[in-house]
Structure 1
Amino acid sequence: MKAKTKKIIAFIMLAGCVLAGYWLWLSLRPVEIVAVHDNGNHSYVLVRSFPPTDKGKINWWLENNSILKKKYNIPKPSSSGSFTIIFWLFGEGYKETDGYDRLCFDDMPPPLNCIDKDAVFSVSNSKNLGVIFTTYDGKYQLQKNGDIVKFTDEFEFK
């Protein structure tokens, strides 16, 4: 094997190791809950370092929902049991309203009571569908037996 080919292979392997290490670091960082805001049966959780994969997000919820209930009293279901929790990346922190594209919280005084809209995950519960997880890549339903099933479209399950 030529020296040039060996160098190329070594570079590709090094780049692969660096990318794998970075992905592992992203996956293992602890989630930081910055704040929780309530709006009736909807809760907004501002986070840093949320898991990057759908499976990681769902597993994080399954492992931490009792902590969220104990520490932040969420979810707060309606009388029918329905609730929605949306997890937003905190990004650059609280900002002033821009008039249309930021999420602003009524439980904080202006002007620094808004965030850029960057939802990464949501959990909802309804009488008809049960627990639904929504991510950037799709929707998943928690089955009664504990299995997680991905929606293939609005009315069908995989």
Structure 2
Amino acid sequence: MKANLKKILLALVVAGSTLIGYFLWLSLHPVKIIAVHQSNNYSDILVENFPVTDKGKIKWWLKNKTKLKEKYRIPVPSADGFFSITFWNFAAGYKEEEKYDRLCFNDMHTKKNCIEKDAVFTVERSNNTGILFTVYDGTYHLKNNGEIIKLNRE
């Protein structure tokens, strides 16, 4: 009985260490921006190594939004301030349009100008809602005082 308990504990320690190592490895790899595609007030940013957690994604945006504006000239707000930026996982690379429901970029004049639709993060701003962050697990609102609150899904 004690031998089985030791094996179970050892397996848990190994599994836990592996998970911690994996998340540490992920956190040490910086976000890589592969490409930026712009259409009016909508920006699509293809990324690798994007943060995994909701908090990490929002924190990354807040830290890097000025750099994105300076380097890529995004966001591009409309006259009323609206903009939308979607970050897409680019792990699979560019593909041809052959498969239904891929996102294709008309600003690329090549057969491989599409990606799989794997959105990892969206930042939107409108006069009605202010800034919203959309992630896998829900939507967050950035209040004027800097507080970030999770919105309830209905």
Q: Tell me what 2:138 maps to.
A: 138
Counterpart of 1:151 in structure 2 is 151
Residue in 1 that maps onto 2:121: 121
Q: Distance in 2 between matches of 1:8 and 1:86?
A: 43
Corresponding position of 1:61:
61
Q: Counterpart of 2:20?
A: 20
Distance in 1 of aligned mates of 2:99 and 2:25: 37
Q: TM-score, length-normalised on structure 1?
A: 0.92
What TM-score, normalized by structure 2, do the two folds share?
0.94
CA distance in 2 between counterparts of 1:12 and 1:84 reads 43
RMSD: 1.4
Matched residue type, 1:105: F
SS of the residue corresponding to residue 14 of structure 1 reads helix
Identity of aligned residues (%): 57
- Describe the SS at the equivalent of 1:10: helix
C-alpha distance after superposition, 1:94-115 (max 9, x if no partner) = 1110253110001101311111
2:60 counterpart SS class: helix
Number of the residue aligned with 1:112 = 112
Distance 1:18 1:101 in 2: 36
Q: Which runs of 5+ in 2 are unaligned?
A: none
Moved over 4 A (4+): none
Report the counterpart of residue 93 of structure 1 in structure 2.
93
Counterpart residue identity of residue 150, structure 1 = K
State the partner residue of 2:83: 83
Letter in 2 for 1:89: N
For residues 138 and 151 of structure 2, what CA distance do their matches in structure 1 show?
7
Distance 1:112 1:9 in 2: 49
1:102-147 Cα shifts (integer Å, max 9, x gaps): 1000110131111111000000000111000000110000001100
1:124 corresponds to which letter in structure 2?
A: E
Amino acid at match of 1:47: V
1:9 alignment counterpart: 9
Unaligned 5+ runs, structure 1: none
* Cα shift readout 1:15-66 (whole Å, capped 9, x = no counterpart): 2111121122223321000000001000000000000110000000000000
Distance 1:124 1:49 in 2: 21
Name the SS for the 1:113 alignment partner: strand
2:40 counterpart residue number: 40
Indicate conservation of the 8 Å contact 2:132/2:139, yes or no.
yes
Letter in 2 for 1:102: R
